[in-house]
Structure 1
């Protein structure tokens, strides 16, 4: 590899740096720890400082790396290994649900690279390796441009489309949660909303809690991410009316279900009082959109009803 510098001094400095890094790599104490084993150790260390949902995201992100790099001894891992993984991931790294030979998106690959670099930085600190071999590996600019060209622009809903959707949900059981989504509430906020947070007399709602599901069965409930996330919002008259009607419906459902009703206290529940999740809210919204719009309009749904991707099947509602 040939590199060109502006001055002789810059060239000599880089040469000295290369020699130093090579010397340090040769002096690393021998270790049989594999990439897989180190990632397990690193995730255990990180879990102490991360929220449960974030730790789960780290685990899923690094799972993309483990299949091809996990068995390599950590000290044998090279920049070529990481570079080869990155190009494989872009070309054919998609797993379940993807067509054979379909690559991962640029953002997904960058997230995996970022976590790998972070883990290798810690390995350097621990003295397991002397150099972070992933440090200079980046997604090629051409791949970024190609993805931008291929990605179809999704326009936001027009006023007419919003009105169509509002009319379509008028008799839907989940009308009130849908209207909250149109107000700008995130799916996790709608799922974490409790009746105790809703003041129908004052027509206000307090956003203090979020609720998400990781995988199919791990429920994570926590406070809002920041003080700015904890907020009090006024309820427009149609939303307040829909919430009032939804509370009455749930009262009737509780009477009909008897002892089988769970009474979780959440606003977004099924007919048995069981809390629903963001994926279920999104699936119901898509059904409404399929009935109301032509097929191309479906993906342009408001982002706040289309974020959860890892939650379980929809229970009876």
Structure 2
């Protein structure tokens, strides 16, 4: 089609009008999609940039939203809809993992809101909606405070409890993997470790591979969590000895099983060579704890016990972060260094100098100076 106008301004105005009409026509079908359909599209786009386990987490988190908001057309979704969902979720939104029709935790609701906000931000960018109607919806402070009061934080094991666990696993078939956990390795790193990563001659282990359980039954294998997570660590003598014994035990098991043995090359396997996952390792650890009368903690929390002990005993920050597999030691110290009251005992002794008028450090230096003199 060719059209003629009296001025260039008129021609440009009509051209802009035509482009706008074409854009509106192309967008019209999309404006009819529901929240459910848009979340499907958004998750499909996000999946390209997410680890499989993270994508699964996003899917499960948004499933809490879909039941009550999924049928609404995306342009018709309002802030009132989202706020009503939030209140319902806090009061009776639980459908699994506890008593049905009870409220979800504030943290769970905040996670769902965060993913919904992210999806709606993308809808705004795509021109499907004008504003993100969930942007100002937040979990009430009272609900967050109530959850913090109700949730009893389980502190990691103390040094004495670690010693008790070490004694309890002596002679256990999985002694070596348990000691690797006490070294601060993540359960996924222990599950993904292969004998090719272990150098018993040099007493080192390379962390390059992880195996994670998604949804209690899907095992996802991938590289280390981050570039910093890929690291080589020296093996303490007790761990090296346990790994040596474990390898010898697996060789004997392979001979006994004959053709029925699955030689996968992984360190964490059962007596027939079949790989074990993090859930199985955790359940075995709980059995040891229960049998020994030890306080139950997550095996992952052994990581905090290790890193707290190393920090308390003067390991420099850059080495502490390297051992943990973190790029920034602030992450290590914020989430994993958790001193208990006994760790603070030397601080109390130091404060005693303030109250008594004596400085233990100064007096020690004076004694050393007298001897040296």
TM-score range, shorter chain: 0.7 to 0.9
Distance of aligned partners of 1:234 and 1:277 in 2 relative to their CA distance in 1, 3 Å threshold = same
Conserved in 2, the CA contact under 8 Å of 1:189 and 1:207?
A: yes
For the Cα contact (< 8 Å) 2:181–2:299, is it kept in 1? no
Residue 192 (structure 2) aligns with: 192
- Structure 1 unaligned runs (5+)? 1-27, 307-317
Distance, in Å, in 1 between the alignment partners of 2:172 and 2:129 is 58
- Residue in 1 aligned with 2:44? 44
Residue 187 of structure 1 contacts residue 305 of structure 1 at CA under 8 Å; is this kept in 2? no
1:27-38 pair list within 5 angstroms: 31-38=31-38
Question: Could you tell me which residue of structure 2 aligns to residue 299 of structure 1?
Answer: 297
1:117 aligns with 2:122: no
Q: Which residue of 2 aligns with 1:107?
A: 107
Cα displacement string for residues 255-305 of structure 1 (whole angstroms, at most 9, x for unaligned residues)? 1221221111110111121111111111111111111125xx213655258
State the distance in 2 between where 1:241 and 1:233 align: 15
Query: What pairs up with 1:7-22 in 2 under 5 angstroms?
Result: none
Q: Distance in 2 between matches of 1:94 and 1:281?
A: 28
CA distance in 2, matches of 1:217, 1:301: 19
List per-residue Cα deviations over 1:223-254 (Å, max 9, x = no partner). Answer: 11222111111111111111111111111111
Report the alpha carbon displacement of residue 110 of structure 1 after superposing the two structures with TM. Answer: 1.3
TM-aligned CA distance change 1:166 to 1:304, over 3 Å: closer
Aligned to 1:224: 224
**2:173 and 2:190 mapped to 1: Cα distance?**
15
Check whether the contact 1:155–1:300 (CA below 8 A) recurs between aligned residues. no
Number of residue pairs the alignment of both structures matches: 277
User: Does the 8 A contact of 1:182 with 1:302 survive in 2?
Assistant: no
Greater share of residues in helix: 2
Question: Are residues 304 and 45 of structure 1, via their aligned partners in 2, closer, same or farther at CA, if it must alter by over 3 Å?
Answer: farther
Which structure is richer in relative contact order (CA contacts within 8 A, separation 6 or more)?
1
List aligned pairs for 1:37-76, cutoff 5 A: 37-76=37-76
TM-score if structure 2 supplies the norm length?
0.71
The DSSP-based 3-state class of the residue aligned with 1:299 is coil
CA contact (8 A) 2:157 2:302 kept: no
Report how far residue 101 of structure 1 moved.
3.6
Q: Is the 8 A contact 1:282 1:305 kept in 2?
A: no
Residue 289, structure 1, aligned to residue 289, structure 2: yes
The change in CA–CA distance for 1:301 and 1:41 in structure 2 (over 3 A counts) is: closer
1:7-26: per-residue Cα shift (whole Å, max 9, x none)?
Answer: xxxxxxxxxxxxxxxxxxxx
> SS of the counterpart of 2:188?
helix
In 2, distance between residues paired with 1:133 and 1:94?
24
Match of 1:13 in 2: none
Q: CA deviation at 1:32?
A: 2.2
Post-superposition, which runs of at least 4 consecutive aligned residues in structure 1 deviate over 4 A?
none
Note the C-alpha offset of 1:44. 0.8
> CA distance change for structure 1 residues 300 and 123 in 2, over 3 Å: closer, same or farther?
closer
Q: Aligned-pair distance for 1:183? A: 0.5
Q: Secondary structure at the match of 1:147?
A: helix
Give the secondary structure class of the aligned counterpart of 2:213: strand
Equivalent residues in 2 for 1:1-317, closer than 5 Å: 31-293=31-293, 297-299=295-297, 302-303=300-301
**Distance of 2:237 and 2:55 partners within structure 1:** 40
- Structure 1 residues 145 and 216 mapped into 2: Cα distance closer, same or farther (>3 Å)? closer
**1:126/1:97 Cα in 2 relative to 1: closer, same or farther (>3 Å)?**
same
